[in-house]
Amino acid sequence: MHQLLKSLKSTFLFNNVNEDSLKEILDSLTYRVIEYSKDQLIALEGNPCNSLGIIIEGTVIIKKLLENGSSITIENFKKGNIFGEVIIYSEMRKYPSTIIASSNCKIIFISKEEITRLCSENSVILTNFMSLLSNKILMLSRRLKNLSYSSIRQKLVNYILEEHKKQENLSLTLPHNKTALGEYLGIPRPSISREFMKLKAEGLISYNKNNLEILDLETLCEILNF
């Protein structure tokens, strides 16, 4: 119980909930804790989704399966991340993507009914949950915006500028390596590498592995016709 309490206290949903209150919440809460081995399937695209999942140990990967049998990585989640918060309140209530454990992990599942009860009883949790939904909507909006760009250059520059907005700095730590970024943007890794090299040669950026420096913000913005 103590370890679970500590893990939940560090999540966004229970942010600013004091330890005594969180202990009372856990005592009254109906939930399931499930352990998964690396590469084990957590949820298959199209499966019913009736619970919110909080990762309390390990990492998971969200994948979209394509008709040709291949897949693209949508997101990588780690300890403290939450999934299913939008789905459980939708009309479909089915997983839109496949979720796989990328390491040994432990996840706590809380039903829609219990989340609704918690939000009605605790204003802090309600505020946190609304923020979670808002953040997810903004993230999906950014993904749709990226899909609207036709060229590899625009997609990559849009990704860099979104990270610039998020990190509020010209010196960025990119959350994806080139392989993961290629899957995230739906672009082959060699094409990602070539475009990075072109942007560097033009003096727009410099980079070393996942560390990137924006050298000409104005020109990058012009590429997207800002």
Question: What is the span of the domain harbouring residue 212?
Answer: 149-224
Q: Phi first, then psi: give them for residue 168, nearest 5 degrees.
A: 55, 45
| Domain harbouring 207, CATH code | 1.10.10.10
Last residue of a domain, one of 133, 161, 182: 133
Q: Please report which helix (H) or strand (E) contains residue 42, including its range.
A: strand 41-43
Q: What is the pLDDT of residue 226?
A: 53
Give a yes or no: residue 142 inside a domain. no
pLDDT band for position 1 (cuts 50, 70, 90):
low
Label residue 216 by pLDDT band (50, 70, 90).
Answer: very high
Query: Domain boundary at 133, 168, 200, which?
Result: 133
113 versus 9: the higher-pLDDT residue is 113
User: Can you tell me the distance from the alpha carbon of 221 to that of 226, in angstroms, rounded to the nearest whole number?
Assistant: 5
Q: Look-up: residue for tokens 């942007």?
A: 199
**Residue pLDDT, tens place only, 183-210:** 778 788 899 999 999 999 999 999 998 8
Longest Cα separation, the chain: 60
Q: If pLDDT is split at 50, 70 and 90, which confidence band does 148 have?
A: confident
CA distance 205 to 226: 18
CB burial of residue 2 (10 Å; 0-12, 13-18, 19+): exposed
Confidence of residue 154 (pLDDT cuts 50, 70, 90): very high
Give the per-residue pLDDT at 191.
Answer: 92
Q: What is the mean pLDDT of the chain?
A: 91
- Region of 168 (left: φ > 0; alpha: ψ -120 to 50; beta: rest) is left
- Of the CA atoms within 13 Å of residue 221, those in its CB half-sphere come to 7
Identify whether residues 189 and 77 lie together within a single domain.
no
- For the entire predicted model, the pTM comes to 0.76
The CATH number of residue 60's host domain is 2.60.120.10
> Given pLDDT bands bounded at 50, 70 and 90, which one contains residue 146?
confident
Please tell me the predicted confidence (pLDDT) of residue 5. Answer: 87
CA dist., res. 99 & res. 43, Å (int): 5
Check pLDDT > 90 for residue 6: no
Range 205-212, long-range pairs (CB < 8 A, 24+ positions): 205/160, 209/177, 210/173, 210/174, 210/175, 210/176, 210/177, 211/171, 211/172, 211/173, 211/174, 212/160, 212/163, 212/171, 212/172, 212/173, 212/174
pLDDT of residue 58: 96
Per the domain annotation, does 138 fall within a domain?
no
pLDDT greater at residue 138 or residue 115: 115
